[in-house]
Structure 1
Amino acid sequence: MDSPCGKDIGKIKDLVFDMKTSKIQYAVFSFDPSWFSSEKLFAFALTAFQARGDSDNLTLNVDKGMLASMKNFDADKWGSLNDLNRAAFINPVPTMSTSK
């Protein structure tokens, strides 16, 4: 998984499915330890990831400064991922601010 600058930032650890609809609800993402603690995971909708050209790599539009405001959870608390209140821990699609 790459940042918009092409730097490796981490990987998708798991995909969470809704068994009733057979659809992916969100991806569980683990940032590289140089970005954020490897013990913290982040949930993102699949729409947060973009394909880069014809590459197999995906891009997540984040920078290190954005991580402090993002929702995360501990790697040992996967049980809460089945909570019906999923919106409480799924991060919105990140957008990078542009400065002129």
Structure 2
Amino acid sequence: MFNQIMLVGRLTKDPELRYTSDGVPVANITLAVSRHFKNAAGKIETDFVNCTLWRKTAENTADYCSKGSIVGLNGRIQTRHYVNSEGKRIFLTEVVARSAHFLGGKTRETAEI
């Protein structure tokens, strides 16, 4: 089987870096990825893709990227589910990144101006 995805998009907010109970770094980001076609109204739509980054990839992304940065990701699609407090089963689809490439965009100095 083959499960590989490549995305390029802008961060919708600063990466959220945290650590597991074992001390492993993990970051969650959302990439805004434009579609390559216009809808019936003539507008280009955007998909907002939830992504999870682990270990050094998570730390580097949190250190060097901020809202608006352009990031390229290589990874895989993962689905999971859980039961919420109301007893309803919730399904999630996300990208688990193997690597991240920082392609430009706002720097921390420019973002603060």
- TM bin, normalised by shorter chain, reads 0.3 to 0.5
Q: Which has the higher strand share?
A: 2
